[in-house]
Amino acid sequence: MPHPRGTVWPARVDLHLADGLSEDQVDRWVPSACLLCSNGCGCDIAVKDGRMVGIRGRAGDVVNHGRLGPKGLYGSTAWAHAADRLTRPMVRDGGVLVECDWDTAMGRIVEVSQRLLAEKGPLSHGFYTSGQLFVEEYYTLAVLGKAGIGTPHMDGNTRLCTATAAAALKESFGADGQPGSYTDIEHCDAIFLYGHNMAETQTVLWTRILDRTRADDPPVLVCVDPRRTKVAEEAERTGGVHLAPRVGTNLALMNGLTRELFEHGWVDEQWVGAHTLGVEDLRTIVASYTPERVADICGVDPDDLRRAARIFGESRNVLSTVLQGFYQSHQATAAAVAVNNLHLLRGLIGRPGSGILQMNGQPTAQNNRECGADGDLPGFRNWDNPEHVRQLADLWNVDELVIPHWAPPTHAMQILSYAEEGSIGFLWISATNPAVSMPESARVRRILAGDQCFVVVQDLFLTETARLADVVLPAAGWGEKEGTFTNVNRTVHLSGKAVDPPGEARSDLDIFLAYADAMDFRDRDGDPLITWRTPEQAFDAWRAATRGRPCDYTGLTFDKLRGPTGIPWPVNEAAPDGTDRLYADAVFPSATETCETYGHDLLTGGTVTEQEHRALRPGGRAFLKGAEYTPAHEPVSEEYPLLYTTGRTVYQFHTRTKTGRSRSLREAAPDMWVELSPADADELGVAEGDVVRVESPRGAIEAPARIGRVMPGAVFAPFHYGTPGLPGEIGRQANELTMTVWDPVSKQPYFKTAACRVRKIRDGGAPAPAPTTAASAPARDAAVPPTGGGAPTISRPAPTPAYPNDPAVAGGR
């Protein structure tokens, strides 16, 4: 539905119901938001005879204007009534998981927990959670972990996904929180997508962009990606640029773009002088990154680099988005910060059309970070600031010394190492599947299966991780519980309870509350530490924790969120209807008393002290930071001559716990494959569909080959497909090959910079099971049938409401 710049994105309602059902046969519709990517699309859940039977986009929601993507449409409800749902707790007896009642399961958990606390103290406990729980569940987990037990060993799978997004925002602006808004799409002149295959990761947001690029006055797109994706194709169609740097060289490319702004006078010196710090240091760092030097490092055409820089330097308004191609690659935080630098150098922030979206990969990753379930302190507080610690101690009525703040929070990779050596003897994993999603899979399986650490898993199904646990707890999923969550651009939704969970499954909130009760956590007056019992009460407790912080929720209530749309924080007395974009006044939360971190050296990860930070006198100014490019940890060699990188496909989500149980999505992307360039395939004697063995120094997988559109010298593999890891079994999961190496600032693992080799095992006899409609399409004309299937989706135009906070509604540009 193309539309002119500065106008509201037209509404269109997408609907999918179970086979044979029509809208008038639905018993009721329950408001929610989609939980199968980070976009956070407002929707209604269809309920028939006590079952979730479909989903419909909500036309009045500011996020999606009624649209839904393929995962949301086809994957939202099918899992809920799958035959293999967990319905009763399980405990390991005699090496075998057997069903039991809740008292038995929780009793075993509490016995081990109390024994380890008595013997070893709080450092014996670790918690590893998700990016898919609700605010109320994250906050409860954070309180019981930080104030009940007092452990710093808390993190989420957001560490694998978008920890770099948070780190980059903190380093540049002083605190987490997306500066930009989805509405910037309607007002910008150019869109830069850095390592962000939006056409597959956030399909509705991509539709929003297409409705502008197909208009008569389209924005120009620039795509940075080593694969020729749909985003790259659209960039070329709009007269933009596709920059395909070698895997692991993103920072060199960004330094080259930054140098071009300085060289050509595309820097707003007056704005930079008034609102930033560090410009001269940055100028010095990037001075040597000429287009020719960048071309030598990255393998891009120097004229393409110049052209991309000119687009950024001369466009009136620019929107930038960043995702895993930067976050999971070498020098991740430095590269992501460099995107922020470009906007700060031109003053392109805080106004319609000029914004930054350091994207998330999961629907509630933002809440994990806000609530402190990732190890940070709740409310974007600084663990190194005694006043911030005191605020929480007063709020929770505990001694300040109970709250861990003597060292940085323990990140996920370190938690796993502690579990490997047994210093963490109790590890609770909720709503995530690290046996598939973490790097170096064989090592992860050994750790989780070992006797040195007691493992609790709560999930919907007996996942690859749950099979290794000592206790398994059946959890309720989306639509089976009530709660709130926040998407990429800070929009908060209330998700209603549509149906009851199966059997004895419980909500994650109820499970955490049951543990807190059984452990008898108390405050310093001897009263129960956690007093709330319901999601709404938990949300009210969370609101109190955000007062005066950048992520201020104090103006939100469940009743307010029951309206037609989600609402972007901060929401308070100053902004009762929410805030579409941050930093319109060019004042940043960088003051020493306010900031979430004092910062780091982007090259080494060395921390900036409170005294050093205060000496800079940031006073609400943003930081311009840079770093020199260094080669990746594992270069190619004669033995391992190819670069290995992992990623996603549009038709599956994470480790397929939900989407793998949707017939339509399963048919569209049924099984594992690996992608080779035509040049590498010819050299290796590999044809479409041939089974190949891919090996790195850590492991091997075997899968059919797609002769695709990855750059020569690289091998791409989707990370969704798990392997039980049985003795003698040939692996197929991508992370058998990846490294246990992480970014020095964000601590996010590098999934995209391993060396590998490939050899043909046997003829395939059929095309690889890769989708043909996305970046995994075959590069050559071949007899590869189109993928897809399943019941049709209804899409219909709808009246376009006056969306709150939309600048096009408020008077356009």
Residues 445-465: tens digit of each pLDDT: 999 999 999 999 999 999 999
Q: Residue 798's pLDDT is what?
A: 87
Rounded CA gap, 123 and 150, in Å?
8
CA angle 145, 147, 153 (to 5 degrees): 35
CA 215 to chain centre: 30
- Radius of gyration, CA atoms only, the chain: 25
pLDDT digits (tens, 9 = 90+) for 540-594: 999 999 999 999 999 999 999 999 999 999 999 999 999 999 999 999 999 999 9
Rounded CA gap, 65 and 586, in Å?
29
In this structure, the dihedral spanned by the alpha carbons of residues 616, 619, 623 and 624, taken in order and rounded to 10 degrees, is: -80
Rounded CA gap, 540 and 542, in Å?
5
User: Would you place residue 795 in the very low, low, confident or very high pLDDT band (cuts 50, 70, 90)?
Assistant: confident
User: Would you place residue 23 in the very low, low, confident or very high pLDDT band (cuts 50, 70, 90)?
Assistant: very high
User: Would you place residue 725 in the very low, low, confident or very high pLDDT band (cuts 50, 70, 90)?
Assistant: low
> Would you call 328 helix, strand, or coil by DSSP?
coil
One DSSP character per residue, 122-139 reads GGGEEEEE-SSS-HHHHH
One DSSP character per residue, 428-443 reads EEES--HHHHSSSHHH
Rounded CA gap, 177 and 259, in Å?
27
DSSP secondary-structure letter at 160?
H
Q: Residue 810's pLDDT is what?
A: 59
Is the model's pLDDT at 726 over the cut of 80? no
Cβ neighbours, 10 Å, residue 796: 11
3-state helix, strand, coil in the chain (%, to 5): 30, 20, 50
Contact by Cβ (8 Å): 154, 145: yes
User: Would you place residue 597 in the very low, low, confident or very high pLDDT band (cuts 50, 70, 90)?
Assistant: very high
The pair of three-digit structure tokens given for residue 448, joined into one six-digit string:
């989780």
The pair of three-digit structure tokens given for residue 546, joined into one six-digit string:
């955000």
Q: Residue 812's pLDDT is what?
A: 37
C-alpha pair distances (Å), 787 with each of 669, 689, 791: 8, 15, 14
Average pLDDT, integer, range 56-68: 98
Q: Residue 813's pLDDT is what?
A: 27
Q: Residue 801's pLDDT is what?
A: 87
Q: Out of 181-195, 367-381, 486-500, 783-797, pick the least confident.
A: 783-797
Rounded CA gap, 147 and 143, in Å?
5
Rounded to two decimals, the pTM is 0.97
Q: Out of 374-378, 434-438, 703-707, 778-782, pick the least confident.
A: 778-782
User: Would you place residue 783 in the very low, low, confident or very high pLDDT band (cuts 50, 70, 90)?
Assistant: low
C-alpha pair distances (Å), 755 with each of 124, 188, 641, 661: 35, 39, 7, 33
| Max CA pair span of the chain | 73
Rounded CA gap, 359 and 9, in Å?
21
Rounded CA gap, 182 and 488, in Å?
9
Cβ neighbours, 10 Å, residue 691: 17
Long-range CB contact pairs, 656-659, < 8 A, 24+: 656/720, 656/721, 656/722, 657/79, 657/433, 657/459, 657/460, 657/461, 657/463, 658/36, 658/75, 658/76, 658/78, 658/79, 658/460, 658/477, 659/36, 659/71, 659/74, 659/75, 659/79
655 phi-psi bin (left φ>0, alpha ψ -120 to 50, beta other): alpha
Contact by Cβ (8 Å): 598, 612: yes
